[in-house]
Amino acid sequence: MASEKGGAPEAPFGLLGHPLGHSWSPTIHAKLGSTPYELYDLPHDEAELFLREGTWRGVNVTIPHKPLAAQVADACSPAVKRLGVANTLVRSGDGRIFAENTDVLGFAWMLERFCEKNLGESPRAALGGRKVLVLGSGGASRSVTDVLANEADARPITISRQGTETYETLADRHADAVLLVNTTPVGMFPHCPDSPVSKGVLASLTQLRGVLDVIYNPERTGLCLAAEKLAIPVESGLAMLVAQAFYASEIFQQTRLDEDLIGQIERDIRLQTQNVVLIGMPGAGKSSCGRALSRLMGRPFVDIDCTIETEEGRPAAQIIREDGEAAFREIETRVTGAYGARSGIVIACGGGVVTRAENYDLLHQNGIIVFLDRSIDELCTNGRPISQSRGVEEVARERMGLYESWADLRLACTGSAAGDAREILAKISSRDA
């Protein structure tokens, strides 16, 4: 058998699925010690042959092969027997295959931490006997529902497009739900920030104490963003991804690992994937600081205004003069959305990006937003038609409150782009420590 990397021999560990895009599993398992770890992108018939006759020692399994993983196993955990799907297989020395569902274990870990951190109680105390809404009816839904029913003693209600419990009846019939968990792919990159339910529907669920989303890319899905606006505690699926890999690695290596690794790896991946977004007044130095920061962090750099100029064939100032500011803002939002959905880049925004409220979600979904604050009397207005026509003071009065409300971090400019970049990197690193 060969891996998706083109004829290489099988690694002892890996991930099986179809189709497979980018996966954090190799990175996570490298930190856990279950290596070498490869990706195996195989259709059903090849997947079955791989599972039955391959030389692997341990393999994680994702869509669409989880039912197959349970079927080929010689022995199964109680969770696999209940659910009929497995995402972790390990082969013993005599060739027998054991199947586990570490999605169940991963979600249980995520749920326990979420409840203790945000609700001040264990899952059983917070959710026991209470209604929990689970969006979606696929394999992830079964794992989540199993944990809610058996570990938290909750009353999970599965919401799907068909059947008796649908999205259309959600608001009318389930206003008393205390937790909502999304297990659908709605809102996953690149279709972000879509959401399976609207902010209005969330607001109608007046007893909600939390929202969980098993999607981990983007960091904050449309559902998470809506919950944040309603001040509902929220978490997306990175913790579940790392936790399920942690328990799979323990099975692969037949050893106990330090559970603190879950949080450490989660923080490492978040720091690696999080965009750094620079906002501030026109002329504050966002572009020069962004270029310096990208070099320090070893990341791609995107200047939104320069990208617009490349795509449109005209600089921002010319578009504003010829087509008007409203037309430019439409283009700016489109480009901001395209790059805000990406991960692990440094983004310098135009000074007016904060004038459209929808741009906040586009930048916040995967980013830490840094307000680069330079004294008004130091701002350059050359080539900036809005600052020239309205005056810097008026533009500042209009935008300064928005910069401050959007920002996760604020930096008073140090006097040099390199100095600003170093200060930002230090603040980000200490914030995630």
Provide the annotated active-site residues: 66
Sign of CA dihedral 264, 245, 188, 118: negative
Minimal CA–CA distance to 14: which of 47, 43, 56, 51? Answer: 56
Rounded Cα–Cα distance for residues 191 and 215 (Å): 12
Confirm if 101 and 67 have CB atoms less than 8 A apart.
no
Q: Which residues contact 259 (CB under 8 A, 6 or more apart)?
A: 246
SS (H, E, C) 204-246: HCCCCCEEEECCCCCCCCHHHHHHHHCCCCEECCHHHHHHHHH
Rounded Cα–Cα distance for residues 163 and 145 (Å): 17
Sheet containing strand 155-159, strands side by side = 155-159, 131-135, 179-182, 210-213, 234-235
Rounded Cα–Cα distance for residues 179 and 192 (Å): 22
Q: Which helix (H) or strand (E) holds 48?
A: helix 44-53
Dihedral pair phi/psi, residue 425, rounded to 5°: -60, -40
Rounded Cα–Cα distance for residues 431 and 414 (Å): 20
Confirm if 80 and 73 have CB atoms less than 8 A apart.
yes
Rounded Cα–Cα distance for residues 357 and 348 (Å): 17
Dihedral pair phi/psi, residue 281, rounded to 5°: -60, 150
Confirm if 69 and 85 have CB atoms less than 8 A apart.
yes
Question: Which segments of 341-391 does DSSP mark as H helices, in order?
Answer: 358-364, 385-390
Minimal CA–CA distance to 196: which of 266, 140, 129? Answer: 140
Rounded Cα–Cα distance for residues 23 and 41 (Å): 11
Confirm if 238 and 269 have CB atoms less than 8 A apart.
yes
Provide the residue type at 143 as one letter. S
